Amino acid sequence: MRARVLWVAAALACAGCDINPFTISGNAVAGPDASVDGTGDGTGGGTGGGGTGIPDAAPVCVPSGPDDTCDGIDNDCDGIVDNDFDLQTDDANCGVCGNRCTALGAIEECTDGECTFVRCQPGFVDLDPTIDGCEYLCPVFPTQSEDCNGVDDDCDGEIDEVTELPPPPADQCRNTPGTPCAGVSMICEERGGVTTWYCDYPPSVEFEPSVPNGIVLQETLCDGNDGDCDGVADDPFADLGQECDNGALGICRDGGVRACDPGDPSQTICDLSVAPDPTGTATLEVCNGLDDNCDGIVDNPDGADRVVDDMVRIDRGGLDFFIYRYEASRPDASALDQGASAARSCSAAGRLPWMGATFATAAAACAASGKRLCTAAEYTAACRGAGDTTYPYGNSFDADACNAEPFDGVPGGADDDVAVPGGVATACESDDGVFDLSGNVKEWTDDIRGVTGGPTPVDIAVLRGGAHNTPANGATCDFDASRLPVNAVVSTVGFRCCSDDAP
């Protein structure tokens, strides 16, 4: 019996005032609607177990300590639950226990049991109304006027707003008139991870972007722009505009000028799109004043690539030599112009003969071509031919055969006594195929016949063949009365070359 009473007392003490009231009677704890009948079988009226049928008792509150915790329990059993907490105004327990009035970056208070916004905490701003509290932490506190620094100085959620920035620094940019830098000012910009004021140079200016006004000391790009704004474009490239070529020689050479390399602006190239262009591709060398085989030598006089002069072999009367088929002409001569080059002599059809040469000039021109002036015997043998005729074409004078005095050098109109290109007088050909051995121009031969008088004697050489103004008797193969001092310059005098060796 004593043990049962102690258990009941312990149960009441542990429950405090947070238990539901139970009826305690006899040896059992029954529910609030149970009755005790003394029999213990729940039917009432009995006296079993000595029970007397005690009515249901009110709950007993056992204090568990001061009521200093908001938990919905009357801990001090004073009849008031959580009597130290005002759920209508308590910021830590607003409306219900444990509901604290807090929001990100904001100050809130409990009013009438509900948390209400009071203001943002220092250094915070409410920029997004859809987010509770003041969600934006100011990068700078206290805030200040906006500046060009990549920071939201005034804490409005925007950085470096143009309308709020101070004026840019003055006199920081290069502004050379007439250059790409003219009129340049500063802008607020981020470059290389750093935001500050930078000079707003155009792309044509070479500068270091990370330096506010850092133009290169000397431009490095050949691009037609004045990259360093010194008033001169591409000045480090001193070879711009200079002549250049493709590295080839002769007629293969393609000339150009140095220009900026569009593929690599750090250098120049030879722009071959300008004149002069190559006049041809490498071919056999001919006597024309050009380097036809592109070896760097004009009109090669010897070697495997030498000019093969048009010569005729004469093997007659104990003589065996080679003679020009045509009267000597200059390398740059044409049918209308005898040319100006004195580099060497040529034997070519359709060109005006080389006229007005002195004996020495003629001898030098032949030597430059690997030849020599013809002797009197060689000239006569070539002119008379195998038939040993008076004229190259026969024994009787023919006014229409060679360009002697009666020959009309320019068909039509009056008789023209002028020199004509080699081979034009087609009938003026020896039986060996040599042209103009009679008429056209007189020809120096290596036949010295005396000297001039006076204090400085000069050799006198025989001229053969006659000229375009020579009468019939002076145009024979044997005529040797036409003579001149070797230093004479006469427009009707020319020459041709001979050689002991094949061309």
Cβ–Cβ under 8 Å, residues 390 and 367: no
Q: What is the pLDDT of residue 56?
A: 59
Q: What strands lie across the sheet with 114-120, from one edge to the other?
A: 102-103, 106-111, 114-120
Give the model confidence (pLDDT) of 12-68 as tens digits: 333 344 433 333 333 333 333 433 343 444 444 444 444 445 555 667 888 887 877
Residue 462, beta-bridge partner list: 483
The more confident residue out of 328 and 302 is 328
Question: Is residue 406 classed exposed, middle or buried when 0-12, 13-18 and 19+ CB atoms within 10 A define those classes?
Answer: middle
Q: Tell me: cis bond preceding 142? Omega within 30 of 0 counts.
A: yes
Interval 293-308: pLDDT, tens? 999 999 998 889 999 9
Helix (H, G, I), strand (E, B) or coil at 86: coil
Are 349 and 421 spatial neighbours (Cβ–Cβ below 8 Å)? Answer: yes
Strand ranges across the sheet with 255-260 = 243-245, 255-260, 268-271
pLDDT (tens digit per residue) in 308-319: 999 999 999 899
Rounded-to-integer distance, Cα 329 and Cα 439, Å: 16
Token pair 């799109």 in the structure block, residue = 273
**Residue boundaries of the structural domains of the chain:** 237-281, 292-503
* SS3 category, 48: helix
Residue 57's pLDDT is what?
A: 60
Can you say whether the dihedral through the CA atoms of 391, 395, 397, 398 is positive or negative?
Answer: negative
pLDDT digits (tens, 9 = 90+) for 218-242: 899 999 999 999 999 999 999 999 9
CA angle 494, 474, 476 (to 5 degrees): 90
361 Cβ neighbours under 8 A, 6+ residues apart: 342
CA-closest candidate to residue 282, choices 267, 266, 268, 296: 296
Architecture of the structural domain at 292-503: Alpha-Beta Complex (3.90)
Q: Please report, for residues 158, 288, 363, 441, the alpha-carbon distance to residue 346 in angstroms, rounded to integers and kept in the order given.
A: 89, 8, 13, 15
3-state secondary structure (DSSP) of residue 5: helix
3-state SS, one letter per residue, for 185-203? CEEEEEECCEEEEEECCCC
Q: Kindly report the CA angle at 208 between 202 and 214, in degrees rounded to 5?
A: 85
> Hey, how many other C-beta atoms are within 10 angstroms of the C-beta on 16?
19
Q: Tell me what pLDDT residue 51 has.
A: 46
- 10, pLDDT greater than 70: no
Question: What torsion do the CA atoms of 317, 322, 325, 331 make, to the nearest 10 degrees?
Answer: -150
Q: For the segment 334-384, what is each residue's pLDDT rounded down to a tens digit?
A: 999 999 999 999 999 999 999 999 999 999 999 999 999 999 999 999 999
| DSSP H or E stretch at residue 10 | helix 2-15
Give the pLDDT confidence of 107-125 residue by residue, as tens digits.
999 999 999 999 999 999 9
User: Which residues is 139 bridged to in the sheet?
Assistant: none
Amino acid at residue number 331: P
- The answer to whether the CB of 330 falls within 8 A of the CB of 400 is no
Name the amino acid, one letter, at 59: P
Check: CB of residue 301 under 8 Å from CB of residue 365. Answer: no
